[in-house]
Amino acid sequence: MKVKPLILIVEDNPGILLNLKVTLDFNGFNTNTARNGKEAINNLSKMEVLPDLILSDIMMPEMDGFDFFKNISRDLTWSQIPFVFLTARADPEDIRFGKMLGVDDYITKPFKEEDLIATIRGKIFRNKKIRRFKETLIERLKIDDYIPSLETNEIESIGIFISFWDEVIGPDLRVKYPKNFELSLSLNEIGTQLFMAANSIYGYTANSSARGILLEIENISRFGYIYFDAIPDEEVRGGIRRYMIVTLASNITYFDSLKIKLIFEELSLRIKEKQNYDIKNIYDKITQILLKEE
- CATH label of the domain that carries residue 274: 3.30.450
262 and 152 together in one domain: yes
Which residue, of 108, 138, 168, is where some domain finishes? 138
Instruction: Give me the tens of pLDDT residue by residue for the chain, a chain 294 residues long.
Output: 678 999 999 999 999 999 999 999 999 999 999 999 999 999 999 999 999 999 999 889 999 988 998 888 888 788 888 888 887 755 666 555 555 555 567 777 778 888 889 989 988 888 887 777 777 766 666 544 444 443 446 777 899 999 888 777 777 888 999 988 876 567 777 777 777 766 665 555 544 566 788 877 766 778 888 888 888 888 777 778 888 899 999 888 888 888 899 999 999 999 999 999 999 999 999 999 988 755
Report which of 210, 207, 266 is spatially closest to residue 238, judged by C-alpha positions. 207
- β-pair partners for 215: 224
119 and 156 together in one domain: no
Whether residue 1 is contained in a domain is answered as no
134 and 149 together in one domain: no
- CA dist 277 and 221 (Å) reads 29
- CATH label of the domain that carries residue 96: 3.40.50.2300
Quote the number of domains for the chain. Answer: 2
96 and 151 together in one domain: no
Identify the pLDDT of residue 99: 56
Q: Which residues of 151-172 are buried (b: 16+ CB within 10 A; e: fewer)?
A: eeeeeebbbbbbbbbeeeeebe
Whether residue 207 is contained in a domain is answered as yes
Residue 192 belongs to domain spanning: 144-290
Whether residue 272 is contained in a domain is answered as yes
